[in-house]
Amino acid sequence: MTGKNGEVNESVEHAETPSEPKRIGRRLFLSVIGLGVVGVALGPGLSNIESKFLNIFSKKPGTGLASLLPGASQFRIYSVTNTIPIVANDAYRLRVGGLVRVPRTLTLADLMNMPATSLVKDFQCVTGWRVPNVHWKGVMLRDLLDAVGVEPGAKAVEFASFDGEYTESLTLAEARRADVIIAYEMLGAPVTPEHGGPVRLYVAPMYGYKSAKWLKSITLVRAGVPGFWERNGYDVEGWIGRSNGRTDQPVD
């Protein structure tokens, strides 16, 4: 929804907590922020995690871009920290390390200079909502893994978010699938801050919780640690169909 000043106005009911239901998100104002990570708080009464961020409530009209994109309004915006951390495109860095031959820190431009992969897929949250035909673009994770050289012994890939809280993991075999991308476009446009921009993970064959937003680092490890929601009860193997009776099969 776009407010009268063009600001992004998401009213989000968070049905994502397996243990205790929790509501996040009231009015969300986005403004253009300079360098560094800052957070746009989703509402008052936030946990102390937010103290790590500078919470900015801007009365300035945002671009409202997110809400103009086809399909955007069907997404629920989720953030386990109740904030939208924002990093400017030119300040963005993605660290790829752990059990690799050549650890690398990539800029957004570095990613955009790599061969691109486009996918058109339905997005499925484990809680039931689904957005059809979402257009994604980014770099195949396996191309990135090949670029740094995975050491023998690495069996899993861990992902961390610059929200400071969210984590995910995949086995190395899953990470090497052709439908797992490091996405800088979603809904046919640059990934917006609320959707995890400038760069998020997109794991097409699995539920939305595997697709970590605000991607900060990719670390090759011997064994993956269960991610944020998996520590709260979700299946580590998040194949669509496993948790809510859908019949979708994992596809290449």
Ligand X SMILES: Nc1nc2c(c(=O)[nH]1)N[C@H]1C(S)=C(S)[C@@H](COP(=O)(O)O)O[C@H]1N2
CB–CB of 141/157 below 8 Å?
A: yes
User: Going by DSSP bridges, is the β-strand pair 83-86/180-186 parallel, antiparallel, or unpaired?
Assistant: unpaired
d(CA 23, CA 25): 7
Q: Which is nearer to ligand X, 117 or 161 (CB)?
A: 161
CA proximity to 240, closest of 159, 141, 123: 123
Tell whether residue 125 is a contact of Mo ion (CB under 5 A). yes
Shortest distance, CB of residue 213 to Mo ion, whole angstroms? 11
d(CA 147, CA 115): 12
What's the burial of 199, exposed, middle or buried (CB within 10 Å: 0-12/13-18/19+)?
buried
Shortest distance, CB of residue 80 to Mo ion, whole angstroms? 11
Distances in Å between the Cα of 209 and the Cα atoms of 61, 157, 213 are 30, 15, 9
Q: What character string, x for contact with Mo ion (CB under 5 A) and - otherwise, covers 5-24?
A: --------------------
Q: Which is nearer to ligand X, 30 or 212 (CB)?
A: 212
**Which span (46-54, 76-84, 134-142, 172-180) binds ligand X, by CB under 6 A?**
76-84
**Which span (39-47, 57-65, 75-83, 244-252) binds ligand X, by CB under 6 A?**
75-83
d(CA 128, CA 243): 10
**Residue closest to ligand X (Cβ):** 208
Tell whether residue 212 is a contact of ligand X (CB under 6 A). yes
**Of 177-236, which residues contact Mo ion (CB under 5 A)?**
208-209
Question: Which partner from the list Mo ion, ligand X, none does 80 bind, CB cut-off 5 to 8 Å by kind?
Answer: ligand X
Q: Which residue has the tokens 């989703």?
A: 42
Tell whether residue 41 is a contact of ligand X (CB under 6 A). no
Tell whether residue 214 is a contact of ligand X (CB under 6 A). yes
Residues that bind ligand X (CB under 6 A): 16, 75-80, 125, 161, 163, 166, 195-196, 208-209, 211-214
